[in-house]
Homo-oligomer: A and B are copies of this chain.
Amino acid sequence: MYKDLSFDELSQLEIELRKQYDNFKSQNLKLDMSRGKPCSEQLELSTDMLDKINSKSTLVSRDGVDCLNYGGIDGLAECKELFAQLFDVPVANVVVGGNSSLTMMFDYISQCYIKGAGAEPWFKQGDVKFLCPAPGYDRHFAICEYFGIEMISVPMLSTGPDMDVAEELAKDSSVKGMLCVPKYSNPTGITYSDETVKRLASMDTASDFRIIWDNAYCVHHLNSQQDVLLNLFDECKKAGNPDRVVMFASTSKVTFPGAGIAALATSENNIKMIKERLTVQTIGPDKINQLRHTACFSNIDNINEHMKKHAEIIYPRFDVVLNGLNTELAPHGIASWGKPNGGYFISLDVLDGCANRVYELCKNAGVTLTNCGATYPYGKDPFDTNIRIAPTFPSVDELEKAVELLCICVKLASVEKYMKTFK
């Protein structure tokens, strides 16, 4: 354990690590572990989809909608049904949108801000605050910042956000919502426990409090040990708070990022309000791309089968990173990390005050990590400890190199930290 080493031992270690680091530096690497992007092998899994629709296809939906012309605000019948299965809700509670669930979330929050969520518009209610599980997803924080919504951090535990903290904060009627990734959470990879889901459904909140349930990784398992997430839609109904949750998902990491299909699921009341906006905002989503998707996936089983192929491609990448961390860091007591069963990230916690130093060391040797602080509201990691690793995009060979370097950098930053305690 590094913490037990003497100053001389640390000095010796530093010289050694510095040599290893310089060796890496001389290799002029250029690797990127910063973005949760599918790799090209994953994208190739879906290129067949592009052949499903062509000039010979019948471009009419199951219920007779001409997909080449205007019409249809909330999605084709078959596409709504597919997402109803994915969300495990009735078809009537689904709206299928365009290519981006992030846009659907932004637009929903924009609607709450301007028109309200069943009460006064948020902008007319003075300060608006959101609970922000932290570490969390930087693009969720960016949406809050855009609307001037004050972000209040709620610490992430292995069971989800700390519900003792969340329940206490939610009593404040200016707290209007929470954006979260409940399954294979970004970045920690954990899935909210049943108790967490139940407490979120039943806790005391303002009547117009909304949980933006970004189920981005709902079918994105890495192995056969699949996490199971309780259905917040059902739990909110049971708790007498049916309007509390709006669930979002997309095929961005099933088929193609940017050319997939996004959807939401929520209560009848919320659906009604959302459609009132949609009829003004658009003449309808891209129905041809919906047909293209339903031609590949007629039900959720097809999607689950397809996702196994994704897992086969990315599991080895996660494995390389986890093995590297385990071999190189575990013995020294200088870091901890999650072992997710799905999703796109591994969350690495280094010693307090070391994350930025690790980032900088990696960067100077050609490996890009997610910006430190990005996983916290306002970009401020309070203890400068969290590093988000995105292992899907690089190749296994690249990852081996990148993780080797990362571990050297974590060790080096840790040694530097401990050496300072002697001064």
Contacts and interface: CB of A to CB of B under 8 A. Distances in A.
A302 interface: no
A280 B37 contact: no
A1 interface: no
Interface residues of A, number: 56
A146 B280 contact: yes
Contacts of A115: 146
A332 interface: no
Interface string A276-300: 0101111111111100000000000
A114 interface: yes
A12 B50 CA distance: 65
Contacts of A67: 258-259
B57 A50 contact: yes
Contact of A37 (B70, B106, B145, B146): B70
B50 A288 contact: yes
A145 B282 CA distance: 15
A44 to B, nearest CB: 8
Interface stretch (A94-102, A240-248, A320-328, A368-376): A94-102
A224 interface: no
A280 B40 CA distance: 25
Contacts of A147: 114
A130 interface: no
A289 B259 contact: yes
A207 interface: no
Interface in A233-292: 252, 256-259, 277, 279-289
A381 B268 CA distance: 34
Contacts of A143: 280
A23 interface: no
Nearest to A43: B68
A100 B282 contact: yes
6 contacts: A50-B53, A68-B256, A70-B257, A100-B284, A103-B281, A114-B123
